[in-house]
Amino acid sequence: MMSDLRPSVIGTSLLASLGGFLFGLDIGYIGPIEGFPGFQSSINRGQPLTSAECGLITAIFSLGALIASFPHISSFCNDTMGRRATICLGTLVFLVGVALQATASGFAQILAGRFVAGVAVGALSATVPMYQSEVAPQAWRGTLGATYQWSVTWGILAAFLIDRQVNAYDDWGWRLAIWAQAVPAIILLLGMLAAPRSPRWLALRGRNDEALQTLRQLRSSATGALEEFAEIRAIVEESEKAEKITLSEVFSSHYVRRLAGVGMLVMLLQQLCGMNAFMYYGTVIFEELGLDSGSFNLCAGLVNCIATLPGLLLIDRFGRRNLLLTSGILMMIACVLCGFLGTIFTEPWCATLEGCDPAASRAVPVMAAYGITLSIFLFIASFASGWGPVAWVYCAEIFPLRQRSMALGLTTCTCWFGNYLIAQLTPVLFEEIRFKTFHVFAAFCGLCTLLAYWLPETKGVALEDMQTIFAKKLCATEGPTAPLHSTAKGYTG
């Protein structure tokens, strides 16, 4: 019921989702800027960057994020310092990263800045969705949590737009695009200082009066707040009796180990299907096609943002598996089309003939360029309404409560590892095998489709009943051995 939802909760959730916006900004801004002559002359003494250098500048961000989202690090920050403090600290670190990047005058400093920003975004990606889910009333948890993924797409779009506005040739354009990221970060920092702490974290730290008071502020009925507080206290008391969860516990049970393997595969394929090749290097690809790369990149960002909405609205109706399956098939078709059209029409047509001038024969026919662009948009729309949001939601709901926090840490780390691989290898692959790169992605989209076909549907299944649908599939009837209690962590859309 809408009356369950207080404006303060909506405001707090949207404010925290700015953490996703920062994630999107960092994904989106770097690709176009690497091609800016002003950027190259500032950080590489006027020499064009090689594809491996571009790959490293892009990818070092994901390495920072991978480290920060490592289960032990993220759970230390979230449980000891608290969710709100971690978001504030993450934002401060992000601002340091912004300053380092925006004032860079060499390769080493831009790498350091990207790494620091990555650490911040990794920490935020492990904290914001959890904070959102803990301040939201149960009936609104999914919808409010989903605003995180949507914010990521808005961030990517905003970054493409800002890059397009600044001057590519002077020493200031690219610096301005990076300084602009400080604005949402400062809003997030100041806003979070005034936002409520997570009631669940307060209860975990034994600050019961504050926990109850916060719940009274966040919930529309005083009795509802009291009931929720009693539930949280029961879970906290139970968790105090049991030993602290460790990573080895995740691996010691057949069932959870295999389930964690499935979750990690889902997140790895979400990255290896190649979406971020377009998000990071869209401008390079559109340039190859002889198109106005800035405008087409912007359209790609727009398609991503708009197509995320149906995914979020359909996930509880059409089901996770159906969305993943349809999205996997469409992404594969789009990649195959893109690879074939690109290979046929962008390779110099006279390459095998004597006296061929490859540059002169490379012009891509307009219809072919539009055909490839349409397949790219088809790919992006299919990812945005399927594998993009659904992979996060699926992983957040399949694990037993007790192991959920650690297992989700593992799947988030895997996601950043895949992100790193795509960021680092795409420019090198594209230089070496050009549009055949999309055949590699098509193969991974094929694996996405096969996995989606195998995965059980989780729509409408209670969290406690997941074991009944997975145990048989995983040939592991041995369930989680320890009592079910833990704090859900990671994306909970």
Return the number of the residue (43 or 275) whose C-beta is nearest ligand BGC: 275
* Listed residue (149, 6, 55, 34) closest to 423, CA to CA: 55
Closest approach, Cβ 257 to ligand BGC, in A, equals 24
- Please report, in angstroms and rounded to a whole number, the separation of the first and last CA atoms in the chain: 18
DSSP state of 221: -
Closest approach, Cβ 441 to ligand BGC, in A, equals 14
Closest approach, Cβ 166 to ligand BGC, in A, equals 22
Which of 102, 126, 180, 275: binder of ligand BGC (CB under 6 A)? 275
Asked if 62 touches ligand BGC (CB under 6 A), the answer is no
Q: Rounded to an integer, what distance in angstroms lies between the CA atom of residue 396 and that of residue 392?
A: 6
Which of 58, 153, 403, 449: binder of ligand BGC (CB under 6 A)? 153
Choices 70-78, 102-110, 150-158, 430-438 (CB under 6 A): range interacting with ligand BGC: 150-158
Closest approach, Cβ 277 to ligand BGC, in A, equals 10
Binding string, 233-272, against ligand BGC, x = CB under 6 A? Answer: -------------------------------------x--
Choices 36-44, 146-154, 223-231, 404-412 (CB under 6 A): range interacting with ligand BGC: 146-154
- Residue 424 in contact with residue 118, Cβ under 8 Å? no
- Residue 289, classed as helix, strand or coil, is coil
> How many angstroms separate the Cα of 417 from the Cα of each of 62, 183, 272?
7, 28, 10
Which of 104, 259, 269, 279: binder of ligand BGC (CB under 6 A)? 279
Residue 318, CA atoms < 13 Å, CB-side half-sphere: 17
Positions in 98-137 near ligand BGC (CB under 6 A)? none
- Residue 233 one-letter amino acid: R
Binding string, 369-398, against ligand BGC, x = CB under 6 A? Answer: -------------------x----------
Residue with nearest beta carbon to ligand BGC: 388
Closest approach, Cβ 387 to ligand BGC, in A, equals 8
Choices 51-59, 177-185, 274-282, 453-461 (CB under 6 A): range interacting with ligand BGC: 274-282
Which of 15, 27, 77, 372: binder of ligand BGC (CB under 6 A)? 27
* Listed residue (145, 249, 134) closest to 203, CA to CA: 134
- Residue 113 in contact with residue 97, Cβ under 8 Å? yes
Binding string, 404-423, against ligand BGC, x = CB under 6 A? Answer: -----------x---x----
- Residue 248 is inside which H or E element, if any? helix 247-252
- Residue 483, classed as helix, strand or coil, is coil
Q: Rounded to an integer, what distance in angstroms lies between the CA atom of residue 449 and that of residue 428?
A: 26
Which of 276, 327, 426, 458: binder of ligand BGC (CB under 6 A)? 276
Closest approach, Cβ 385 to ligand BGC, in A, equals 11
Integer-rounded Cα radius of gyration of the chain:
23
Q: How many residues bind ligand BGC (CB under 6 A)?
A: 13
Ordered alpha helix ranges (H), 104-253: 107-135, 141-165, 173-179, 182-194, 199-204, 208-218, 222-241, 247-252
CA dihedral 362, 434, 48, 290 (to 10 degrees): 40
Asked if 304 touches ligand BGC (CB under 6 A), the answer is yes
* Listed residue (447, 452, 312, 302) closest to 377, CA to CA: 302
* Listed residue (208, 182, 210) closest to 196, CA to CA: 210
Return the number of the residue (142 or 388) whose C-beta is nearest ligand BGC: 388
Residues that bind ligand BGC (CB under 6 A): 27, 149, 152-153, 156, 270, 275-276, 279, 304, 388, 415, 419
